[in-house]
Chains A and B, each alone.
Chain A
Amino acid sequence: MTRASQSGAASGAARSIADVVAAHGVVVCAGSGGVGKTTTAAAIGLLGAATGRRTIVLTIDPAKRLADALGIAELGNEPTPVVVDEKGSLAAMMLDQKGAWDALVEHYTESEEARDRILANSFYQHLSGTFAGSQEYMAIEQLAQLNASGDYDLIVVDTPPTHHALDFLDAPARLGNFLDRSVLKWFVRPYMSAGWSGLQLVNRTAGALLRRLEDATGVAALAEVSDFFNAMSKLFEGWDDRVQRVEKLLRSRRSAFLLVATSEEHVLSEGEYFCSKVEEHSIALRGVIFNRVQYESAAELGRVDEQRLEGLLQRAVASAPVRRRLVRNFLRYETQARGDQLRIESFRDQLPASLPVASIPNFEEDLHDLGGLRRVMQRLLVAGDDSAP
């Protein structure tokens, strides 16, 4: 542990993932679904607390995995303190879509009447309750609020389990576009005077067709949509600014993106895509964390011959069938590990050599408590080349 922090401090450059975390106020964990992002985010949170910072982990995962990992019964829409025996503090919160939207409406509407009108709108209910993608929007909003509150030195963001890690990055821009003023204007006009057909900006043919579609589909909901935007217009005022503020925050030196991956082929190809795209988004990738890595041992031991190995075991284990099983088991793990290592190496070859990388072994137990998270945390302290198997 000290070795890592010393070498990082000595060279003055961030070399371990822990150094990266220490140098930033917002850490975003990105990666495909099922790679252990939530656990990793929780371990980074713990690291924050261990280094004396007031830390919060924000998870956007609809499944309550973070609560499971932190050993707390339930995560709410409010920061929940996690009891850790550390210098700093750790809190966690989950973005519950519906609750977050409601809270937002409460926060930004001026009168009770305006609030109730939005909450009762059926389009709103569907948007907040069932519409995918709104999670990312809400995460952005939540991040902005947490950052503005000044209550935390470190905010760790666990991104939703999308196939494409980039969805999270695109969300603010999408929302920005969506709320682009000219578009809003179309919607916030009273529906009766400007339905689809009243839209001067749409070409006449399309306008007529949209009206026909409306007749055909019975989408009377369009009126609801219009009403919704009317009611929400107050709320959307300044939304653009907020989104831009968050985008700016994510692109600033304060924020670091970490890619979380496993050694599986499809995860690594997704990771490659992510790495190639981060630049386009003007976002800096500050490190990579490989999860569930099996270390190969044969490389350092020289190639192992099955028979020779069984011979070696003879002195220790009397039963021949047990010896055979032991050898077979060992060789199976070696095979798995060799594949893991080859894939990770070829992936690492494409990354800048100076990029901090951490490898978390495939612990033979589930990580479901603080003790487990501490084991992960220890691996984040290992610097640069030392993390190579």
Chain B
Amino acid sequence: MELFDRQLVFVVGKGGVGKTTVSCALALAAARRGKRVLLCEVDGVSRAAQLLGVASAEAGVAGPLVDGVAVMSIEGSAALAEYLGMIVPVRRFLQAVLKSELYQYFVAAASGLKELMTIGKIWYEAQRTDDRSGGRVWDLVIVDAPATGHGLQYLRMPRAARDAFGAGLVKREADRVVDLLSDPKRTAIHLVTTAEEMPVNETITMARRVRDELGMPLGVLFVNRLHTDHFRDSDIEALRSAARRSRSTVTGNMLLQVASRAAEESGWSQLNKRYLRQLAREIDLPRTELPFVFSEEFGEHELDRIVELIEATG
């Protein structure tokens, strides 16, 4: 599949598998092809901004466009206020509502409303056009979605709203959002996982739910943090027995360490391979494999490696 010809892309997966890394790498790779990219972070974390080394702006406002990528943090209540601002243009009235206790309570209680507004805001940015040129403001909007369960709740919201509201503005808008989200020409849901048991099981379930329950188009399966090196048992054993024979404790310890790191890497590689096979069997999607990046701190340089790999496959 062509990675960069969509208008709206969601990056979903279990917590801790590297969604932010993949989102940032996708954004940079698309920008290198000349796209204007908006990278959205949901839920008030600014890790993407941190990783890209850009300042994070206030919720709902795009940060400066740096190398073709702008970062926006999307927050439900801010999006709702913005939305109300559009349908209720009288500022004085609006302020009164937003400040009222009832409104605050309602928003706090009906927390699904925030998810709905978050998706609404994402949709708004994805289809927003420039007044003068008439072209879209962003070529590509990438959403770094919250962890699995929660992430799917966001995606489910527009449909729930459409079903809940029989008529009126909310129904009409929900219809438009659902249209965009389920159009395979414009939207893709990318999955990110590591090749380990629990993330893989979760990803398999998630793929099924995105396709069957939500009726949304799946994009690419990113398998992250793969270990690939293999060492023969005989080599590892040889190191251990050399360690036992060694007269120096320091040398002996070091040989043991080298042996156990080799065993560790082999162990992970085998395990990753096994779960890669399971993924291949159960998820019929194009797959991009990304390596475990050893580093003291995952930063710009490490991200760059991932960008290059994604560029090569895109």
Contact = CB atoms under 8 A, between A and B. Distances in A.
Contacts of B171: 218
Main DSSP-derived SS at the A contact region: helix
B105 A177 contact: yes
7 contacts: A132-B150, A205-B92, A206-B100, A297-B254, A316-B255, A330-B262, A364-B271
A325 B271 contact: no
B195 to A, nearest CB: 10
B124 interface: no
Contacts of A297: 253-254, 257
Interface residues of B, number: 81
B103 A206 contact: yes
Interface in B281-299: 294-298
B168 A205 contact: no
Given A34-B15, A209-B96, A265 B146 contact: no
A218 B93 contact: no
A218 B187 CA distance: 28
Interface in A207-222: 209-210, 212-213, 216-221
Interface in A186-200: 186, 196, 199
A290 to B, nearest CB: 14
Contacts of B257: 297, 301, 330
B109 interface: yes
Interface string B241-280: 1100000001101110110011111011001000000000
A33 interface: yes
A34 B102 contact: no
Nearest to A131: B112
A3 interface: no
Contacts of B297: 265, 339, 343
A316 B239 contact: yes
Contacts of A13: none
A130 B157 contact: yes
Q: Chain A interface residue count: which class?
A: 35 or more
A366 B196 contact: yes
Interface stretch (B27-35, B44-52, B58-66, B129-137): B44-52
Interface string B35-46: 000000001110
A12 interface: no
Interface of B: 14-17, 43-45, 47, 50, 84, 87-88, 92-94, 96-97, 99-103, 105, 108-112, 114-115, 146-150, 153, 156-157, 160, 164-171, 196-198, 201-202, 205, 229, 231-232, 235, 238-239, 241-242, 250-251, 253-255, 257-258, 261-265, 267-268, 271, 294-298
Nearest to B173: A217
A202 B146 contact: no
A21 B219 CA distance: 45
B198 A219 contact: no
A317 interface: yes
Contact of A329 (B157, B238, B261): B261
B170 A217 contact: yes
Contacts of A178: 105, 108-109
A388 interface: no
Nearest to A136: B111
A266 interface: yes
A109 interface: no
Given A335-B295, A336-B296, A61 B149 contact: yes
A304 interface: yes
Interface stretch (A44-52, A63-71, A275-283): A63-71
Contacts of B115: 132
A300 B252 CA distance: 13
A107 interface: no
Contact of B165 (A160, A218, A304): A218
